[in-house]
Amino acid sequence: MTRLLIVGPPGAGKGTQSARLSSSYSIPAIATGDIFRKNIADETPLGMKVKAIVDAGDYVPDSLTNELVKSRLEEEDALAGFLLDGYPRTLEQVDYLDRLLKSKGQHLDAVIQLAADQEEVVARLRKRAIEQGRVDDSEEAIRHRQQVYARETTPLIAVYRDWDLLIEVDGLGDIDEVSSRISDALDDRGIAPAA
């Protein structure tokens, strides 16, 4: 029963590390964007609400995001643990997740923060944008997303640090090195991979 969050700036390698953690700990990696897309594709009642909001160019409100995450965490594969990526994003969502887990007699085990130097991340994302022909990934756009991330996430990281859940890991370097840093930090907390 391992319940984790992973946070880090765009380009820090959360997706790559999430997949590895999911495999090592036998828990689903749950990205909020994927939940939104699946509900929209399946045309669920919640998905149709999300689609209308997204089509209008608005942010999905906390209340709806919370409902979607709650629904996903009640699916069979997430009952024995999970790794959340992209949620919570606001203090209200932090509070909601905490209350949701406590209502089931559960708690988070750790919050993994992939720390990365902004200049390194910008360079990494620019390189990826050029390789993949992503014209919308200009340096200006990338820097803006980094600033939004820092502004929105700093208060959440402070809460998880106060709750003694935060594990800060250097997110730069070889993928295997970063994975090793994460598993060592989790081991130090007594959180072991699935047998």
Give the dihedral sign, CA 50/52/57/61.
negative
Sorting pLDDT into bands at 50, 70 and 90, what band is 185? very high
Are 93 and 65 a contacting pair, CB within 8 Å? yes
Q: Residue 154: exposed, middle, or buried by beta-carbon count in 10 A (0-12, 13-18, 19+)? A: exposed
The C-alpha angle with vertex 35 and arms to 68 and 26, in degrees rounded to 5, equals 105
| 55-99 pLDDT per residue, tens | 887 778 899 999 999 999 999 999 999 999 989 988 999 999 999
Q: What's the confidence (pLDDT) of residue 121?
A: 87
Q: Which of 15, 42, 43 is nearest to 30 (CA)?
A: 15
Phi, psi of 33 (to 5 degrees): -60, -40
Q: What is the pTM of this model?
A: 0.88
94-139 pLDDT, tens digit per residue, is 999 999 999 999 999 999 999 988 888 888 888 888 898 877 778 8
Q: Tell me the mean pLDDT in the region 160-167.
A: 97
DSSP string, 145-189: HHHHHHHHHHHHHHHHHHTT-EEEEE--S-HHHHHHHHHHHHHHT
What proportion of the chain, given as a percentage, has pLDDT over 90? Answer: 59
Quote the CA–CA distance of 40 and 33 in Å, as a whole number. Answer: 11
What is the rounded CA–CA span in Å between residue 154 and residue 124? Answer: 22
Rounded to whole angstroms, the Cα distance separating 195 from 183 reads: 14
Q: What are phi and psi of 118, to 5 degrees?
A: -60, -40
CATH, domain 2-186, list 3.55.50.30, 3.40.50.300, 3.30.230.70, 3.90.1300.10 = 3.40.50.300
Which two tokens mark 105? Answer: 């007699």
Q: What local confidence, expressed as pLDDT, does residue 70 receive? A: 95
